């Protein structure tokens, strides 16, 4: 897109997406600190910069710092009372506790009033419709203020990470059907591990394997047939607004006993309890393919492309009491831009971040220049020649050469490469199109799996999206969580490898020990943080 076209587009969009009342006769200078990027030629002349300047009547002047330990450099400036630029942008999320500490130091400005000004936050408000949620509560700090512009990137597949993928050829070979219950899954795995399906004359078939013990996707999949189980947030779940530990419930004990039986019988590889991801990757890529079920967000870790493309999604299965969940971690807003408390025009600085959250710039920062690196399918001469992998999104974007723009390392001057805020809905990545007939079987299988989990009703009525803690709460939790989680992980791992050790006495001791270690003090902090989001 040439500069003249940028100007024309900006003028055309001014009345709809830009707070034109903010522009003055002479451009307002806004200083911007950004991390260096080897594939950004010059922030000053970047087409995104020219677009923002034309649209908002500002002059962006950049202070480029080395990307190496970039956040530490900003933190040092704040601790040294060195003034910040009007705007500071990031290329990776800054944790909320760090943002809040900067706010408490008085270094960054609260932006809350701007977020509730529909004329100023016009793109933010528009983005609520695109992503289907008002994400402002996810950014509210303990003092009730919002201090940053977000990165909010919805991921249709990553929100359900605890999936299982099966190898259809082996299912057909044993004459099985997709299981609907955990008992049926065990029957299928018995047939798998007792048959020489890879034809090498060795009993090396593995029904299910995984890694990372009770924090792994394999364990999450199985345990969610007994109760809702989330490996994040200290294994805490929520019901009727009240948080509780999954691992203190009787249903969790029942799940551990059942899974221990699967391991003892050889249906689940015992290595899943203790091995790391690298060891798991080696296991699923053995010379003679030997794994039926792969536990991961996708089967991407299988190196043989032909085999990988055949894997299909296994739906969640019901447990003995009819429970059938899958771990759901919704996409959340993260800090990607702050405004200095010394900024003389904070409303204009906010407007810069707001404009970057428009759909156009949110696409541009990831996929490059419209008309060069990508196009809307609807704007092509013949949209009917394109197809999307996800039926729910259809064919929305054509990405011409993503490898060249994004991962080649080649120099470009069209986009910020995800430096600074952006908001992208499911349908952008999910709506990537290819020519009809060129669809990849692997991509179609991924789309089918993602859609099944997203639309199957496998999440509970309430989930924890994001919790922001005060300094006092953080201190309390830091003093408890590491030792507590280590104890829980190691104790449950022992039970999984020796189911007979999970006696009534052992269970009672476990419950008493987590209490003594401060588990419920930790839970109280989490409950307070959750209540603030409401």
What digits encode the pLDDT tens for the residues 463-493? 999 999 999 999 999 999 999 999 999 999 9
Could you tell me the pLDDT band of residue 236, with boundaries at 50, 70 and 90?
very high
What digits encode the pLDDT tens for the residues 339-386? 999 999 999 999 999 999 999 999 999 999 999 999 999 999 999 999
Say which DSSP state 95 is in: P
Could you tell me the pLDDT band of residue 13, with boundaries at 50, 70 and 90?
very low
What digits encode the pLDDT tens for the residues 81-108? 999 999 999 999 999 999 999 999 999 9
Q: pLDDT value at position 533?
A: 85
CB 256 within 8 A of CB 219: no
User: CA–CA separation, 345 vs 495, rounded Å?
Assistant: 60
* Percent of the chain predicted with pLDDT > 90: 93
E runs forming strands in 308-355: 312-314, 333-339
Residue of 18 and 168 predicted with greater confidence: 168
Inform me whether the pLDDT recorded for 3 exceeds 60.
Answer: no
User: CA–CA separation, 243 vs 523, rounded Å?
Assistant: 7
The predicted model gives 167-175 an average pLDDT of 98
Which CATH code for domain 164-327+463-532?
A: 3.40.190.10
Could you tell me the pLDDT band of residue 24, with boundaries at 50, 70 and 90?
low
Coil, strand or helix: which one is 76?
A: helix
- Mean pLDDT, the chain, rounded, equals 94
Residue boundaries of the structural domains of the chain: 3-157+336-367, 164-327+463-532
Say which DSSP state 407 is in: I
484: buried, middle or exposed (CB in 10 Å: 19+, 13-18, 0-12)?
Answer: buried
* Percent of the chain predicted with pLDDT > 70: 96
pTM, full prediction: 0.92
The whole-angstrom distance between residue 407's C-alpha and the CA centroid of its chain comes to: 20
What is the CATH architecture assignment of 3-157+336-367? 3-Layer(aba) Sandwich (3.40)
- Distant-in-sequence, close-in-space partners of 406: CB < 8 Å, separation ≥ 6: 366, 367, 368, 417
Inform me whether the pLDDT recorded for 11 exceeds 60.
Answer: no
The predicted model gives 413-434 an average pLDDT of 98
Same fold, 3-157+336-367 and 164-327+463-532: yes
């Amino acid at each position: 897109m040439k500069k003249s076209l940028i100007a024309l587009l900006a003028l055309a969009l001014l009345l709809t997406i830009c707070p034109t009342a903010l522009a003055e006769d002479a451009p307002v200078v806004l200083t911007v600190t950004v991390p260096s990027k080897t594939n950004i030629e010059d922030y000053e002349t970047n087409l995104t910069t020219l677009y923002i300047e034309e649209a908002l009547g500002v002059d962006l002047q950049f202070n480029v710092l080395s990307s190496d330990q970039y956040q530490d450099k900003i933190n040092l400036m704040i601790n040294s009372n060195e003034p910040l630029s009007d705007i500071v942008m990031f290329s990776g999320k800054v944790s909320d506790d760090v943002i809040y500490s900067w706010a408490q130091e008085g270094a960054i400005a609260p932006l809350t009033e701007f977020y509730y000004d529909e004329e100023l936050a016009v793109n933010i408000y528009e983005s609520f419709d695109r992503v289907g949620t008002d994400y402002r509560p996810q950014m509210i700090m303990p003092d009730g203020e919002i201090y940053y512009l977000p990165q909010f990137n919805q991921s249709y597949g990553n929100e359900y990470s605890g999936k299982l993928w099966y190898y259809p050829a082996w299912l057909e070979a044993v004459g099985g059907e997709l299981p609907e219950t955990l008992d049926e899954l065990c029957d299928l795995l018995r047939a798998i591990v007792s048959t020489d399906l890879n034809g090498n004359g060795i009993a090396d078939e593995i029904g299910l394997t995984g890694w990372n013990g009770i924090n792994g996707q394999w364990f999450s999949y199985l345990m969610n047939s007994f109760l809702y189980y989330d490996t994040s947030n200290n294994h805490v779940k929520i019901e009727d607004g009240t948080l509780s530990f999954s691992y203190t419930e009787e249903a969790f004990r029942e799940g551990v006993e059942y899974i221990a039986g699967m391991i003892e019988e050889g249906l689940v590889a015992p290595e899943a309890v203790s091995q790391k991801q690298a060891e798991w990757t080696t296991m699923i890529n053995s010379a003679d393919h030997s794994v039926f079920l792969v536990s991961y967000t996708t089967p991407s870790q299988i190196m043989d492309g032909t085999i990988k493309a055949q894997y299909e999604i296994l739906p969640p299965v019901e447990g003995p009491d009819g429970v059938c969940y899958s771990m759901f971690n919704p996409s959340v807003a993260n800090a990607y831009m702050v405004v200095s408390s010394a900024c003389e025009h904070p409303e204009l600085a906010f407007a810069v971040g707001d404009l970057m959250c428009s759909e156009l710039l949110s696409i541009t920062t990831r996929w490059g220049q419209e008309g060069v690196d990508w196009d809307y399918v609807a704007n092509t001469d013949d949209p009917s020649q394109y197809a999307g992998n996800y039926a729910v999104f259809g064919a929305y974007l054509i990405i011409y050469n993503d490898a060249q723009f994004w991962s080649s390392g080649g120099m470009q001057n069209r986009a910020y490469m995800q430096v600074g805020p952006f908001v992208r809905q499911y349908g952008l990545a999910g709506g990537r199109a290819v020519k009809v007939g060129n669809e990849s079987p692997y991509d179609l299988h991924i789309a089918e799996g993602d859609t099944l989990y997203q639309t199957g009703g496998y999440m509970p009525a309430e989930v924890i999206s994001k919790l922001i803690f005060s300094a006092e709460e953080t201190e309390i939790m830091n003093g408890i969580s590491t030792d507590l989680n280590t104890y829980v992980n190691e104790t449950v791992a022992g039970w999984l490898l020796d189911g007979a050790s999970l006696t009534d006495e052992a269970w009672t001791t476990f419950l008493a020990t987590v209490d003594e270690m401060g588990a419920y003090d930790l839970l109280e902090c989490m409950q307070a943080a959750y209540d603030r989001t409401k």
